[in-house]
Amino acid sequence: MARSSTGRACGKVILLGEHAVVYGVPALAVGIDRGAEAVATPVEPGLPSELRLGEGVRAAAGSDSDVGHAFSALLEALDVRDPVHVAATTDLPAAAGLGCSAALGVAIARALRGISGTAPLAPAAIAARALAWERVFHGNPSGVDTTVAAHGGCLLYTRTDAGPVFEPVPLGAPLTLAVGHTGEPSATRVMVDAVARLRERKPDIVAKSFDGIAALVKNARLAVEAGDVVGLGRLLDLGQMLLSGLMLSTEKIETMCRVAREAGALGAKLTGAGGGGCVLALVEDDASGVLEAWSAAGFRGFATVVNPGAVVVNPGGAS
């Protein structure tokens, strides 16, 4: 019987462009050093294929739950026909805007591909397969989460009718980020639907916001390349204003952004779908002041540094 195979993927933080990316505006996102790992093991013929997520969730392929449906979709996308058991873990908070489900989807896809005996798939091809998993949870994902989960580094990502287009963005300087959790869940599907409804009701206002976000992304890319973290911080603050205008912010998000800025952050905004979830704060080079200020205000967070030359976790896909 074939041996087990391990797949890994990273979580992500969207610097700028969330929501607008669903409608074809580019987004700027970075992979972070937290993520997901999955181990796939072939089992006896006749046994059901099963996925275990952490210690809690267990779902057989085809069982009537989101995880069961997503697992089946992934098995189909990777053409896995023989029974397999997969155990996956993640150190990303779920429903927090950090790409937890995408990282799990990519890690599981890599592990499944690893037991197939065929060559590892390139990151873009793995991301495309993992989208089948992501669609079950998020309905209409832009694909930015799975793409960054598979590639890592800093990417400019655009959804087009012909498929995803993305390019690595070289960093002129490390990006030191404090990432904090509001303690409120963020449901991507619900928030994407809310923006879709707002767009139906107020198309002009939403179009103007998306134009503004597109301009911020363009400038943020230049700032990232130039290592201009002060300029990037200002753009993050402007991004937060536009996202608030789209009704994606909450009182806790606003509090966390304010506390971070008062503690010396260069800029702060929600990241991901909003309505809860995480806030990111860009700092010069030491996130501890922001993390302490958040902690004093009752919020938990962690620091992550994106370094120039940061590369994909486990590029080949399986081990």
Q: Which residues form the catalytic set?
A: 145
* Minimum distance of ligand MEV from residue 136's CB (angstroms): 13
Count CB-CB contacts under 10 A for residue 284: 14
Whether 167 and 293 have beta carbons less than 8 Å apart is answered as no
Q: Sign of the C-alpha dihedral, residues 109, 166, 283, 271?
A: negative
Backbone angles phi, psi at 32, to 5 degrees: -120, 170
- In sequence order, the 6+-apart residues with CB closer than 8 A to the CB of 253 are 182, 270, 274, 276, 279
* Minimum distance of ligand MEV from residue 15's CB (angstroms): 12
The site for ligand MEV (CB under 6 A) is made up of 14, 18-19, 21-22, 97, 138, 141-142, 144-145, 188, 192, 272-273
* Minimum distance of ligand MEV from residue 295's CB (angstroms): 25
* Minimum distance of ligand MEV from residue 227's CB (angstroms): 26
CA angle 188/192/197 to nearest 5° reads 150
Nearer to ligand MEV, 79 or 193 (CB): 193
- In sequence order, the 6+-apart residues with CB closer than 8 A to the CB of 247 are 194, 198
Nearer to ligand MEV, 80 or 131 (CB): 131
Parallel/antiparallel/unpaired status of strands 154-160 and 175-181: unpaired
Alpha carbon distances (Å) from 47 to 43, 56, 70, 110: 7, 21, 19, 22
Nearer to ligand MEV, 68 or 272 (CB): 272
Nearer to ligand MEV, 113 or 138 (CB): 138
* Minimum distance of ligand MEV from residue 256's CB (angstroms): 18
CA distance 218 to 17: 10
Find the residue with minimal CB distance to ligand MEV: 142
Nearer to ligand MEV, 48 or 139 (CB): 139
Q: Which tokens belong to 312?
A: 């994909």
Nearer to ligand MEV, 120 or 275 (CB): 275
CA distance 242 to 210: 8
CB-side neighbour CA atoms (13 Å) of 145: 34
* Minimum distance of ligand MEV from residue 143's CB (angstroms): 7
